Amino acid sequence: MPDAPDFAALTSAQQRAWSEGDFSMVGSLVVNASESLVEALEILPDERILDVACGSGNGAIAAARRAWGNTVGADFVPALLDRARERAAAERLEIEFVEADAQELPFESASFDVALSIFGAMFAPDQERTAAELLRVVRSGGRIGMANWTPDGALTDFFAILMRHTGGPPPGTVPPVLWGGEERVRELFGDGITELRVERRVSRQAFRSADHYLEFFRAYFGPLRTAFEKVGPAGAPALEADLRAYLEGASTDPRALVLEPEYLQVVATRA
Ligand SMILES: C[S@@+](CC[C@H](N)C(=O)[O-])C[C@H]1O[C@@H](n2cnc3c(N)ncnc32)[C@H](O)[C@@H]1O
């Protein structure tokens, strides 16, 4: 049997990658998806909400507006939590931001009415453990909400290019985008949930051109910065050429570079 992946080492490497650049700049592209998920969760005043892998706080901020505070955001990148605190303070929202790994949440069992994660928990390498943690922290009858890129959506090609140029996926791991398939979500949550509602949606992202996209993502998106560091100057032209071909092929509008990657919006009821 192959050795189990070293999840601790993978998580540390991912923590370093997400710490590069400034994801809060990229996070503005998914504000819409965050608002949509939080609406679908039908949050009530004073419910206690957890946003897992919250980044600069999109989900937590959207949730706290509906719960009238009472919200916690957790992420393993301290600089993103600082950005989230700045944003919450600007809106006078009561949100606590806590440094934590999605696979080992520092919260009591059944201590939240709702746990949600927007393109966040899906990236943790140990999917079974992440699902177990989301289930553990939510009370019976509470809800779990996720936004997950789909396996057949445009972003799968983007991540596949990064993997191909940086030596392939770590042995024994499965792709994060599996979380974007209903069957995998059912498998991971198992009998921990009583109901599952899923909806395929798109997240529209408009840039002036492929150059504009690459310049922006190379400045702010940690996983892309890390990929360019790994390939070094010798590998950079080939990586850039593949990304440019992907972007130009995926654009849905001849007037600009418009991506419409698909994602699965998930609302599950905790058993
Ligand atoms: C694509 S960003 C999404 C951020 C945020 N949810 C949003 O909607 O803007 C992915 C986030 O997941 C966080 N993340 C990835 N793996 C994590 C883990 N194992 N534990 C905690 N946070 C994690 C990253 O630090 C990053 O902030």
- Rounded to whole angstroms, the Cα distance separating 100 from 105 reads 6
- Rounded to whole angstroms, the Cα distance separating 193 from 196 reads 7
Q: Are 72 and 50 spatial neighbours (Cβ–Cβ below 8 Å)?
A: yes
The structural domains of the chain, ordered by start, are 7-150+170-204+259-270 (3.40.50.150)
**pLDDT above 80 (res 182):** yes
Over its C-alpha atoms, the chain yields an Rg (Å, rounded) of: 18
Q: Is 124 in the pocket of ligand 1 (CB under 6 A)?
A: yes
**pLDDT above 90 (res 153):** no
| Mean pLDDT score of the chain | 96
Q: Are 268 and 185 spatial neighbours (Cβ–Cβ below 8 Å)?
A: yes
**Ramachandran class of 246: left when φ > 0, alpha when ψ lies in -120 to 50, beta otherwise:** alpha
- Rounded to whole angstroms, the Cα distance separating 11 from 266 reads 24
7, 11, 15: which to mutate for ligand 1, most atoms within 8 A of CB? 15
Q: Which residues pair with 51 in a beta bridge?
A: 73, 116
**Rounded to the nearest 10 degrees, how much is the dihedral formed by the CA atoms of 264, 267, 270, 271?**
-80
**How much is the pLDDT for 1?**
46
**pLDDT above 60 (res 157):** yes
Q: How far is the centre of ligand 1, averaged over its atoms, from the C-alpha of 130 (Å)?
A: 12
Residues in the chain: 271
Q: Which residues contact 16 (CB under 8 A, 6 or more apart)?
A: 226
- Rounded to whole angstroms, the Cα distance separating 83 from 24 reads 7
User: Higher pLDDT residue, 79 or 3?
Assistant: 79
* pLDDT per position as a tens digit, 51-98: 999 999 999 999 999 999 999 999 999 999 999 999 999 999 999 999
- Rounded to whole angstroms, the Cα distance separating 57 from 60 reads 5
Q: Which residues contact 264 (CB under 8 A, 6 or more apart)?
A: 146, 147, 148, 149, 150, 179, 180, 181, 182, 185, 198, 199, 200, 201
Q: How far is the centre of ligand 1, averaged over its atoms, from the C-alpha of 256 (Å)?
A: 28
Q: Calculate mean pLDDT across residues 5-15.
A: 95
Q: Calculate mean pLDDT across residues 208-223.
A: 98
Q: Is 127 in the pocket of ligand 1 (CB under 6 A)?
A: no
Q: What Cα–Cα distance (Å) separates residue 33 from each residue in 30, 184, 219, 266?
A: 5, 21, 23, 11
12, 52, 75: which to mutate for ligand 1, most atoms within 8 A of CB? 75
User: Higher pLDDT residue, 39 or 2?
Assistant: 39
Handedness of CA 214, 217, 222, 223 (dihedral sign): negative
Q: Calculate mean pLDDT across residues 92-106.
A: 98
Q: Is 38 in the pocket of ligand 1 (CB under 6 A)?
A: no
- Rounded to whole angstroms, the Cα distance separating 235 from 229 reads 9
Handedness of CA 219, 223, 226, 228 (dihedral sign): negative
pLDDT band of residue 2 (cuts 50, 70, 90) is: low
pLDDT band of residue 171 (cuts 50, 70, 90) is: confident
If DSSP codes are grouped into helix, strand and coil, which group holds residue 217? helix
Q: Which residues contact 177 (CB under 8 A, 6 or more apart)?
A: 122, 148, 149, 150, 151, 153, 155, 156, 159
